[in-house]
Structure 1
Amino acid sequence: MTQRSRGFRSKTRYKLKKTLRAGRSNPITKKIQTFQEEDLVHIIIDPSVHKGQPHPRFHGKTGKIADKRGQAYIVAINDGNKAKKLIIRPEHLKIQE
């Protein structure tokens, strides 16, 4: 019997699906957006950009910008009772309004 693949994007068929006719797939404004420390952001994964993508378990979570590292941001979130810091590129972040 063969082993099933358990890659980074396994079991994400519906979570990482782009909406039909969403307009331009990845506009440049998502890539060049900037955030300040202490900003609240939503983690919304853009499946067409693989670089700087967080694990799919964090899709839909809200966190706080802790720091900037290169082009990416360090986002602090609580995963259950544990505080975690994720390194995420701005294409996968959306400012909370």
Structure 2
Amino acid sequence: MRHSHGYRNRSRKVFRHTPRTRGYGGLSRLMYEYKVGDYVIIDVNPTFIETAPHRRYQGKVGKVIERRGRAYVLEVRVGGKIKKIVATPEHLVPAAQPGGAT
């Protein structure tokens, strides 16, 4: 039987929680306010899969370019192209600025 090529294809290992990290993370990750120009790491939280970006962007560093509702629009370089990703704060972690400044 042919396998599915769906949106979450081959993502079992990527979107897996270890038993210690199951459930909601912490409030600090949800309440963190990002400003335009901040750099963030896309870390998909499988608890909130409806608002998750595609697994191709897992671990990528992006720059916040605007706020859209309670989500953020990020600029992510993939290969030679710049992509715009819409992600909610559950899937974002603050990153250090390039060049050493935090």
What is the TM-score of this pair, normalised by structure 1?
0.88
Question: What SS does structure 2 have at the residue aligned with 1:49?
Answer: helix
1-structure distance, mates of 2:11, 2:74: 22
Q: List alignment gaps of at least 5 residues for structure 1.
A: none
**Residues 23 and 47 in structure 2, CA contact (< 8 A), matched pair in contact too:** no
Amino acid at match of 2:67: K
What is the percentage of aligned positions where both structures have the same residue? 30
Task: Tell me whether 1:84 sits opposite 2:83 in the alignment.
Answer: yes
More helix by share: 2
Closer/same/farther in 2, CA of residues 4 and 73 from structure 1, 3 Å limit: same
Closer/same/farther in 2, CA of residues 83 and 90 from structure 1, 3 Å limit: same
* Structure-to-structure mapping, 1:1-97, within 5 angstroms: 2-22=1-21, 25-97=24-96
**Residues 75 and 85 in structure 1, CA contact (< 8 A), matched pair in contact too:** yes
**Residues 51 and 89 in structure 1, CA contact (< 8 A), matched pair in contact too:** no
Of 25-34 and 51-60, more deviation after overlay is shown by: 25-34
Amino acid at match of 1:67: E
Q: What is the RMSD of the two structures over their aligned residues, measured on CA atoms?
A: 1.6
What is the TM-score of this pair, normalised by structure 2?
0.84
Query: How many positions carry a matched residue from both structures?
Result: 96
Q: List alignment gaps of at least 5 residues for structure 2.
A: 97-102
